Amino acid sequence: MGLHVAQYTLDIIDLDLMVDFWSAALGYRVDSGGDGSAKLYPPPDGSPESPIIWLQGSGTPKHGKNRLHLDLVADGDQAEEVRRLIGLGARHADVGQRGDEGFVVLVDPEDNEFCVLARPPHRPPPADRVNRR
């Protein structure tokens, strides 16, 4: 028994702006819901473990730092990917990081934080058990 991340829901204000940013950033295809929301689906050749992104109109601006955010891994060079994302509308964010952690913190056009990792997170071999509280 267990769970996996199937969908990441992001409350937004400007649907068109956020669809343009996130679909271009991730290479996801768009299915507009017609109700102020849209779902972004991984490309058919992407990882089957990649979550769907649901952009849901909220009508309220973001307040404060995200308590949950995406950690993204570039297929190629991290610095090149950060430059590409900035060209799409992302900006650097300072959340108190030192700068030598192996990740870059950015915000999307509506100030939602996300990270671009230099490499995928370490995963223990499948036989290892996770220590649970």
- The arithmetic mean of pLDDT across residues 74-91, rounded, is 95
For residue 80, what pLDDT is reported?
A: 96
More confident position, 106 or 127: 106
Mean pLDDT value of segment 116-129? 79
**What's the pLDDT tens digit per position in 29-69?**
999 878 889 999 998 887 777 899 999 988 888 888 888 89
Percentage of the residues of the chain whose pLDDT score is greater than 70: 91
Residues paired with residue 72 on neighbouring β-strands, in sequence order: 116
Beta-strand ranges (E) seen in the chain are 7-12, 29-32, 37-41, 52-57, 70-73, 91-92, 103-107, 113-117
Is residue 80 classed as helix, strand or coil in its secondary structure?
helix
Question: Do the beta carbons of residue 114 and residue 71 sit within 8 Å?
Answer: yes
Amino acid 64: pLDDT: 83
Please name each of the domains of the chain with its CATH number: 1-61 (3.10.180.10), 63-121 (3.10.180.10)
By three-state DSSP, how is residue 130 classified? coil
Backbone angles phi, psi at 37, to 5 degrees: -135, 165
Mean pLDDT score across all residues of the chain: 87
What is the mean predicted confidence (pLDDT) over 80-109?
89
Is the pLDDT at 113 greater than 70, yes or no?
A: yes
Tell me the one-letter amino acid at 65.
Answer: K
Count of beta carbons in the 10 Å neighbourhood of residue 131: 5
Confidence of residue 123 (pLDDT cuts 50, 70, 90): confident
> Which region among 26-30, 33-37, 95-99, 104-108 has the lowest average model confidence (pLDDT)?
95-99
- Name the token pair of 132: 């649970």
